Amino acid sequence: MPKFLRVLLSSLAALVAIPPAALSQAMPTAPLRIDRGRATVVFYSADRRLAESLAEQVVSGDSFPGLPKPRKRVLIAIAPDRQRFHDWVGPAAPEWGAAVAFPESSRIVLQGSAAPSDAGDPMETLRHELAHLALHEALGDLPPRWFDEGYASVAAHEWRREDAMAANLGLAWRGMPTLDDLERQFEGGSTSAQEAYALAYRAVTDLGELGGADGLAPLLAKWKRVGSFERAVRGTYGITATEFEQRWRDKTRRRYGGLALMGDVAIAGTVIALIVVPLYLARRRRDRRRLAAMIVADQVAEAAAEKNLIADLLRESPGSGYKGPVGGGPS
């Protein structure tokens, strides 16, 4: 096997933790690679155009809000299909995920051109994952999950209308969460996670707005020095982390509370409709049956009364022995 191919197989095998021989047998063609700047992109021939675009994205968009320019090399592996994406990522792969970053080893695995339509824009997805790596390179394991995901969403400009609606739906169903609640919400399935991404975006955006023109830079620099989010918020903005959390919750309620209230009303209306409408329809059917029975009873009673009246008239009229027709004319 040529040395170049052995290097590629070894690189990708290290990425997915399977032997190079097994990897070469599993794939229809040998993997390829592109090196641009600090990035190495490993891919298969069907994804060449995507790989070139991703490599150029790393070079042209390699800066992130409030952080120094990242220096670590990054390995980007493009999975040729969804099954191998899950195989390469392992149990950490969420059902709705289009890419996964591994900050400890500075690696990213993402779906290739065969990805389903819900995988989203690969350029946006790559920037989201690169932001995770950049934040980890600068701050290590200091940021909690809500900040990590919120920061990556801010860096990738992922705030869209559907995310706002997801936040509203979350507010309507569960009310405004705390930051601790938000941390756990990422593990609650696709819908819960999407709501959590939207709310985390708002939290990180609100922190950046407190920094004015400097954005997140002062907070992130302070956080790295002191090693504590509480102390970094207090030292940067002059408020406690608890006060920031309350501001974020209040501001989000004001921003989306009207739509959330509409959602509450709609949900309540639906519940009422599901309970009341069947009862109303059942009562209407019961009333119809009663009315029909009353009409039949009245008709029977009227027929009986008429029969009795005729019988009484026959008994009281003279010449009751005559059997011919009543009335007549001149003979």
pLDDT of residue 219: 98
CB 59 within 8 A of CB 68: no
Confidence of residue 187 (pLDDT cuts 50, 70, 90): confident
CB 185 within 8 A of CB 165: no
pLDDT of residue 265: 43
CA atoms within 13 A on the CB side of 285: 6
pLDDT of residue 97: 77
CB 310 within 8 A of CB 326: no
Nearest to 130 by CA among 54, 184, 79: 54
pLDDT of residue 164: 65
pLDDT of residue 194: 85
**Backbone phi, then psi, for 19, in 5-degree steps?**
-60, 145
On the question of pLDDT at 1 being above 80, the answer is no
pLDDT of residue 190: 79
**Cα–Cα dist 158/177, whole Å:** 21
Pairing of strands 32-36, 39-43: antiparallel
Domain(s) labelled CATH 3.40.30 in the chain stretch across 1-141
Query: Which whole number is the average pLDDT over 307-323?
Result: 55
**Predicted model pTM:** 0.70
User: Max CA-CA distance within the chain?
Assistant: 136
Confidence of residue 328 (pLDDT cuts 50, 70, 90): very low
Q: What is the end-to-end Cα distance of the chain in Å, rounded?
A: 133
On the question of pLDDT at 209 being above 80, the answer is yes
Nearest to 67 by CA among 199, 224, 198, 206: 224
Lowest mean pLDDT among 88-97, 161-170, 239-248, 249-258: 161-170
121-147: pLDDT as tens digits:
999 999 999 999 999 999 999 999 999
Hey, which CATH number is domain 1-141, 2.60.40, 1.25.40, 3.30.1330, 3.40.30?
Answer: 3.40.30
Residues in the chain: 331
The amino acid that residue 310 corresponds to is: I
Nearest to 238 by CA among 220, 208, 211: 211
On the question of pLDDT at 221 being above 70, the answer is yes
Beta strands, E only, the chain: 32-36, 39-43, 74-79, 99-102, 107-111
**Cα–Cα dist 215/220, whole Å:** 10
Residue that has been written with the tokens 């997140």 in this structure: 216
Nearest to 54 by CA among 157, 114, 152, 123: 123
27-58: pLDDT as tens digits:
557 899 999 999 999 999 999 999 999 999 99
**Cα–Cα dist 210/212, whole Å:** 6
pLDDT of residue 14: 52
